[in-house]
Amino acid sequence: MNKQITRLALAAALAAAGQAQAQGAASSVNLFGVVDLGVVSLDGNGKTRSFVSSGQQMGSRLGVRGTEVIAPGWEARFILEHQFYADTGLQNQQTPVSGTNLPDWVFAGVPLTIKAALAPTLGATLNASLENRFWHRQAWVGLVTPVGGFLAGRQYSPAFQIYGRFDPHLAGNVGNPLVLFAAPTGLDVRVDNSLQWVVEKGGLRATAMVAPGEGAIGSGDFMGLSAAYAVGGLDVGVGYNERENSDGAKALRNTIVGASYAAGPFKVTGMWMKVKDDNSILGPQLRASIGASAPAPLRASFLAAGAQIARSVGWDGELIYGGVHYMIGARNKIVASYAQYDDASNARDMAIAGLALEHILSKRTSIWLSGSKVDNKSGSQVLPFGQGLFYGITDKPGRDSSAASVNIVHRF
């Protein structure tokens, strides 16, 4: 059972090293992937919507992974991993049920006149952010040396590696609070242009990552660190991400601590994560966009509104998230989870409960039944999501939402 979980964790959150030994050969290139398809029923945006959908549990993907042993203790490795939506075969997800609407709290304090002008732009921006690159999930190459691996490319951030490691739902499932951090971004999952050092020794795994902003308007330099240690049934980890915006001000920062303990048929796992962003990358982007297009008499008002929106989409909160796995025999696993997010802005507060059953048909194939319930407090508009699939937002602030899904997950 633990092996099963570890395997999933590797797929979901990517432990970079550790698989080469299993592959045995001096050099290898493997095709791998997941096809995850099911039916989801979603409540919270006007009416119950049911649709065939890809990725409620793990996210469909197709990847190529390679290893080359260069000398004792020296290896070259790469992963190229494509994300796709198995229901349509498309590289990009379906349109969110809420279209390009953004939560009301995004525009708190913004005059309707300006909101009317900015909302379409921000909505289009949201839409554009849902468009995936071909190698959306990962694209990196690196050298493993006696002093650790040095990897470069598009990689999972250190804090997200800890999130995935201690996530009861392995970064997927409609019961996952990860959706809260989807739009606007509250946790950098993947980092472009990143250089990472990874060391694995005994039960220890540590990473350090840097990624320069490369001059784009919005995102600036990124750095992150993580460390995790597993011994017996116990596993603990910490992670930290920090991103600057292109003004050089500290933007999104995540501090995460996770732990899990497995004993017999049980596993308990959970995390605490601090999310802080006082200088959203959206600030410089809005400023640049408005500065170029607003009519002169209104420019100051538009810029003030842009700054207000940038403040609103910042973060200042804490996530507490935990769950239990329980094996019933060798073929059925129950996952129960609960997460609560408290922000300095009450309009962002929410909680989500999830319950899932994995029926293991074979080593590679499972059937999942999942359900979740989101308690959106005063102003939150969170809808459940699927892996790599943003379903949208609720139709009203504070409207609770829920989802149920049945899906088949086949790994290869």
Partner 1 sequence: MKIRLALGALALAALAACGGGGGTDPAPVQAPPTLDTTRLVVFGDSLSDGGAYALGNSLILQTQAGVPQAAADLVGKFTNSPGAIWPEVLAGRLGISVTPERYEVGAASPVAATNRVNSGASATNYAQGGARVAKVPGVGCSPNAAGACTAQAAVPVSVQVDRALAKGSFSNTDLVVVWAGANDVFFQATAAGEEITRTSIQLGRPMSSAETTALISSKYGPEMVQAGLDTLAQVRRLQAAGARRVVVMTIPNAALSPFGAAGGASTQGLLTALAGAYNDTVKREFGTPETGVLLFDAGSLAASWYQNPAAVGFVNVQAPVCDVPAALGSSSSFCFITPAPAGSAQNPFQRVLPAGVTPENSLFADAVHPSLRAHSLFGGALHDTLRARGWVR
- For residue 27, state whether it binds partner 1 (rule: CB under 8 A): no
Choice from 101, 245, 337, 366 touching partner 1 (CB under 8 A): 101
- For residue 396, state whether it binds partner 1 (rule: CB under 8 A): yes
Place of tokens 């849902």: 130
Choice from 30, 88, 129, 346 touching partner 1 (CB under 8 A): 129
Place of tokens 């970079």: 16
- For residue 218, state whether it binds partner 1 (rule: CB under 8 A): yes
- For residue 124, state whether it binds partner 1 (rule: CB under 8 A): yes
Least distance between partner 1 and beta carbon 385 (Å):
10
- For residue 59, state whether it binds partner 1 (rule: CB under 8 A): no
Least distance between partner 1 and beta carbon 296 (Å):
7
Structure tokens that stand for 117 in this block: 């002008």
Least distance between partner 1 and beta carbon 33 (Å):
22
Stretch in the footprint of partner 1 (CB under 8 A) among 34-42, 64-72, 73-81, 99-107: 99-107
Identify which of residues 86 and 182 has a Cβ nearer to partner 1 in the complex. 182
Q: Is 137 left (phi over 0), alpha (psi -120 to 50) or beta?
A: alpha
Choice from 64, 152, 199, 298 touching partner 1 (CB under 8 A): 298
- For residue 255, state whether it binds partner 1 (rule: CB under 8 A): no
Q: How far apart are CA 3 and CA 204, in angstroms?
A: 17
Least distance between partner 1 and beta carbon 140 (Å):
19
Place of tokens 């909302």: 119
Stretch in the footprint of partner 1 (CB under 8 A) among 72-80, 206-214, 260-268, 293-301: 293-301
- For residue 31, state whether it binds partner 1 (rule: CB under 8 A): no
Least distance between partner 1 and beta carbon 299 (Å):
9
- For residue 246, state whether it binds partner 1 (rule: CB under 8 A): no
Asked if 319 and 271 touch (Cβ cutoff 8 Å), the reply is yes
Alpha carbon dihedral 35, 40, 44, 48, in 10-degree steps, equals 150
Choice from 9, 144, 183, 355 touching partner 1 (CB under 8 A): 183
Identify which of residues 41 and 92 has a Cβ nearer to partner 1 in the complex. 92
Least distance between partner 1 and beta carbon 201 (Å):
34
Least distance between partner 1 and beta carbon 14 (Å):
19
**DSSP bridge partners of 30:** 65
- For residue 34, state whether it binds partner 1 (rule: CB under 8 A): no
Stretch in the footprint of partner 1 (CB under 8 A) among 119-127, 258-266, 341-349, 369-377: 119-127
Q: How far apart are CA 269 and CA 256, in angstroms?
A: 13
Identify which of residues 38 and 392 has a Cβ nearer to partner 1 in the complex. 392
Identify which of residues 22 and 128 has a Cβ nearer to partner 1 in the complex. 128
Query: Total binding residues for partner 1 by CB under 8 A?
Result: 50
- Between the CA of residue 398 and those of 6, 389, 390, 395, what are the distances in Å? 37, 22, 19, 9
Stretch in the footprint of partner 1 (CB under 8 A) among 1-9, 126-134, 335-343, 356-364: 126-134
Going by C-alpha positions, the residue among 335, 318, 403 that lies closest to residue 48 is 403
Least distance between partner 1 and beta carbon 339 (Å):
18
Interactions with partner 1, residue window 336-375 (CB under 8 A):
none
Least distance between partner 1 and beta carbon 150 (Å):
26
Contacts for 52 with CB less than 8 Å, ≥ 6 apart: 37, 38, 39, 87
- Contacts with partner 1 by CB under 8 A lie at 101, 104, 107, 111-122, 124-126, 128-130, 182-185, 188, 217-219, 281-282, 285-286, 288-290, 292-298, 301-302, 313, 390, 395-397
